[in-house]
């Protein structure tokens, strides 16, 4: 039986582990993880949201940033997100990794970013890393790269939301 998956034909050429970073980003869906008890971090209604892509290879950076923004917006429906409101606190997300690698018969995907919430004066309210990894077998008939990326996105974003929901303002 002939193998129709082209990457498998490349493996004998020594390209195992070749990073296919984000080619499936377009097919990913925003994560929805609402908590009715915490509609917006720290009880604030308005937040500046700044997402920057610090990956070495930034293919599809705008799509990935929009995916994170959409996920936060739908998971924290009590917030109004802006880009530069001087009277609002700020959430900064720096993306360091979001990639899927094919190695032998497994897709390994990793997501990693840092999150920092600051008050209006720039003091850090919380700062943490959010990361996730997943290994997914190469099932026939599935877009395994996209499935692995979706899984790490969901795991890393849930960690992000847990951290943001714990934000409180001093005194």
d(C-alpha 163, C-alpha 115), whole Å: 9
- Structural domains in the chain, CATH included, are 6-27+47-165 (3.40.50)
d(C-alpha 57, C-alpha 53), whole Å: 9
For 62-86, how does the pLDDT look when each residue is reduced to its tens digit (9 = 90+)? 999 999 999 999 999 999 999 889 9
Residues sharing a CB contact under 8 Å with residue 141, sequence separation 6 or more, in sequence order? none
Q: What is the dihedral of CA 21, 136, 26, 97, to 10 degrees?
A: -40
Residues sharing a CB contact under 8 Å with residue 2, sequence separation 6 or more, in sequence order? none
**Is the CB of residue 79 less than 8 Å from the CB of residue 45?**
yes
Residue 33 confidence (pLDDT) above 70: yes
Residue carrying the six token digits 């979001």: 98
For the chain, give the mean pLDDT. Answer: 87
For 110-154, how does the pLDDT look when each residue is reduced to its tens digit (9 = 90+)? 999 999 999 999 999 999 999 999 999 988 888 999 999 999 999
pLDDT reported for residue 24:
56
Helix%, strand%, coil% for the chain, nearest 5: 30, 30, 40
pLDDT reported for residue 26:
73
d(C-alpha 13, C-alpha 21), whole Å: 19
């Amino acid at each position: 039986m002939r193998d129709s998956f082209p990457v498998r034909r490349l493996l004998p050429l020594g390209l195992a582990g070749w990073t296919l970073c984000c080619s499936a980003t377009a097919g990913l869906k925003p994560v929805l993880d609402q908590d009715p008890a915490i509609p917006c971090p720290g009880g604030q209604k308005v937040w500046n949201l700044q997402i920057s892509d610090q990956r070495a290879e930034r293919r599809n950076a705008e799509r990935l940033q929009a995916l994170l923004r959409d996920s936060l917006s739908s998971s924290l429906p009590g917030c109004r997100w802006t880009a530069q409101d001087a009277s609002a606190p700020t959430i900064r997300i720096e993306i360091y990794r979001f990639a899927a690698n094919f190695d032998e018969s497994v897709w390994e995907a990793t997501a990693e970013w840092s999150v920092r919430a600051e008050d209006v004066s720039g003091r850090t309210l919380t700062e943490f890393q959010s990361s996730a990894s997943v290994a997914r077998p190469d099932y026939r008939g599935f877009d395994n790269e996209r499935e692995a990326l979706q899984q790490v996105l969901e795991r890393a974003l849930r960690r992000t939301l847990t951290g943001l929901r714990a934000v409180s303002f001093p005194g």
